[in-house]
Amino acid sequence: MKLPIRIWTSKKRLRGYVGFSFFIFIFVAREAYDHDMIIRHETIHFKQQVEMLFIGMWIMYAFEMVRNYIKYKNFDKAYRNNVFEREAYANDEDEDYLKNRKFWAWNRYW
């Protein structure tokens, strides 16, 4: 079995998002405009979760969202400035990024 496991779903089921990574699964909306980019983005999140033993990343992600929401008073800005999202968005178009990604690469996006 190859990880992460891809699950194709609808954008409606993802509450308007085109991708979501949780545990060993990545959920990708069939309606997504660029499946390969979404899969790379969510696979970056999968790698982040593995590095932090899943629960550590979820706690850090939530902490980052709260901290950024207090700072920006805007959910979208809080989301876009989350270190985990910054790494994923900065590299989801690079087809070689996952091959060359260093351990804890998200740490340089603080």
Residue 26 phi/psi, 5-degree rounding, is -125, 130
* Number of domains, the chain: 1
Percent of the chain with pLDDT over 90: 95
Chain segment 39-89, per-residue pLDDT in tens: 999 999 999 999 999 999 999 999 999 999 999 999 999 999 999 999 999
What would the two tokens of residue 86 be? 């910054």
Query: Does residue 66 sit within a domain?
Result: yes
pLDDT-derived band at 105, boundaries 50, 70, 90: very high
Query: Does residue 110 sit within a domain?
Result: no
pTM of the full predicted structure?
0.94
Which domain range does residue 21 map to?
A: 5-99
CB 29 within 8 A of CB 48: no
pLDDT at 109: 96
* Measured distance CA(108)–CA(87) in Å, rounded: 8
pLDDT at 1: 80
